[in-house]
Structure formats: structure tokens, C-alpha cells
Chain A
């Protein structure tokens, strides 16, 4: 018989490797749940900045958990300690697990040393969402910005993370840019490490 003897018997449940987890969930189910999250938060606030903050907070706790899980599952309980390492971890590993693909681009800000940008042509959470005109520049990507902030903060890279729409030439829809501005201490530590 094929495979006989290959299956290890684990006497202790803790010795078993952590399962990869189910790879995908229904996009519709997620879209409805997210829509409901936004609608609920909308009833709790009286201005748009506050709504953005609440979405970001919701994302923050997702990010903190995702970091913990992925470090354990993919990296054998190690986590990135360098700036570029953690950024590419967010850009590829985290993005792949959450959205099924690597983020479209990761760039360094041109004007400021401490700014980095992750851009997406079409953010998954925004796929079905049209922002009404009277809400101005509000972006539901604030939730994703919160996730990124959660990951970075828990990994010891405190940062301010915001989501923005950036119009693209020749395209009907603007793309979403997640702007990451690291705290001073992070850059100081990075410089010391060389």
C-alpha cells in the first residue's frame, strides 16, 4: 500500500503540525459581513473621521492576530525585526493570506524618509463599495490600514497608517494607497542596526 508508514502517529496533540487552514472563504459572505460592519459603525458616529477611526480599530485587532498566527504558521515562531523585512512580510505573506494575492506594489515615499506605500488597483474590501459624493475622500480601506497598523505595531514598528484614493490616469476608478508613516524611534533603531 502506498503511504504506509509515512503517516506519523502523534501521541501528543501539541506535536501535530498546525494545519494550513482553509484557504478561502466566500467573497459574498465577506462582502455582506463587511458591509454590515460599516453600516453598524455608521450608526455609532456623527462624522466621517470618527467612522474611519472605528474601522481602523476593527482592523487593528485583526492585524495583531494575523501577525501572531502567521509567525507561528509560516516562520516557525520567528518574526521580522528589520524594517524592510516586516514591510515585505506585510506586502506578500499577510496580503496573500488575507486577500489571496500579493499586493500590487510596495514603494518608498519620495518626499519623506519615514513613509512607505502599499498600493492596490482594487482593494478587496472596496470591490463592491461606491462611496457617495457627500462623503468626500472617505475610504473603506481604513479597515485594511488598521490591519497593517495592527501587524506593524505588534511587531514593534509603531506607525501611523492611512488609506487614500489615488486617481490613475486612463483609469475610471482610483486605486487605493495604504500610506505607512513610521514613528521616529523605529527609524532611529533601524539606523543603529545599520
Chain B
């Protein structure tokens, strides 16, 4: 069972800087992921403009028949979103945790260039652990 299908991180200009696939159900090729990332970026921006109430920060959850998309935007405009099975709980917490990992293992790494694709071994290791843990917790619930 794969609760989470995939994880995306996009920089503040809509470029995909990290993509990880966790289950074959949502598998896409590289071009598709890039397209989806920038599409989501624009949609997110439009949703802010469309909001009838002021102070809207954009879409946080998109529910569809076959998947849920949870999005978290950091203060600097970097967006994290996961595509998961419909009805999966506690995704905001996972996203917050992933954001924490990003600030630790990506931003504090002197060899990472801002806004560029993330290639950090420690981030990968800790992310895998976090997702694994989340999955175990999910099975336990």
C-alpha cells in the first residue's frame, strides 16, 4: 500500500527542484513532472487572486476522485506538495516535517545553490526515513 504517490518541491519561480516517486500508481516521466510543477505554481498563484476574501495564501488541498494533493508554501515562496491516496490524514504534518528537513539539510549545505535542483545525500536519507516513519504510523492508526 502506498499512501503517498509522489512528492514535489518547486522553487519560488515555479521550477521543479525535487521530485520523488513513492508508488507506481502515480508514476510520470520527467517532462510531465516539470509540466505539472509549473502548472501547479500558476494555479496556486491564480487561486490567490480569485479568492473572494483578502489574505488568501492559495490552495492547500485539492481533492479528486483518485488522489488528494496537499500543498504547503513556505514564507520564501518555496512550495512543497504531496500527491497521495484520497482521504490520507496528517499530510500537513508530514509536509511541515519535510520543510524542516529542507531547511536543515539543503539550506545549511554550503554546496547547494539556491533555486537549483536539490542533490543532497543527507536530505535523501532523512526524507526516506521520514516517509517510511509516516507510513508505519499510518498502518498503526
- Mark A residues whose CB is within 8 Å of B: 28, 31-32, 34-39, 42, 128-132, 135, 140, 172-173
Contacts and interface: CB of A to CB of B under 8 A. Distances in A.
Contact of A129 (B111, B119, B125): B111
- 10 closest residue pairs by CB, A with B: A38-B110, A128-B108, A130-B121, A130-B120, A35-B110, A31-B108, A130-B122, A39-B110, A132-B111, A35-B108
Contact of B110 (A28, A42, A172, A173): A42
A79 to B, nearest CB: 34
Interface of B: 104-105, 107-111, 119-123, 125
A75 B13 CA distance: 56
A36 B110 contact: yes
B110 to A, nearest CB: 4
B109 A128 contact: yes
B109 A172 contact: no
A28 B107 CA distance: 10
Contacts of A37: 110
A25 to B, nearest CB: 15
B111 A131 contact: yes
Contacts of B121: 130-131
Given A28-B108, A32-B108, 10 more contacts: A34-B110, A37-B110, A42-B110, A128-B105, A128-B109, A129-B110, A130-B123, A132-B111, A135-B111, A172-B125
Nearest to A42: B110
Nearest to B121: A130
B14 to A, nearest CB: 25
A56 to B, nearest CB: 16
Contacts of A31: 108
A130 B105 contact: yes
Nearest to A32: B108
Contacts of A172: 125
Nearest to A35: B110
A28 B120 CA distance: 18
Contacts of B110: 34-39, 42, 129, 140
Nearest to B119: A132
Nearest to B125: A172
B122 A128 contact: yes
Contacts of A39: 110
A58 B55 CA distance: 47
Nearest to B105: A128
Nearest to B120: A130
Contacts of A32: 107-108
Contacts of A35: 108-110
A140 B109 CA distance: 11
5 contacts: A34-B110, A35-B110, A128-B108, A130-B109, A132-B119
B42 to A, nearest CB: 31
A139 B108 CA distance: 15
Nearest to A140: B110
B111 A128 contact: no
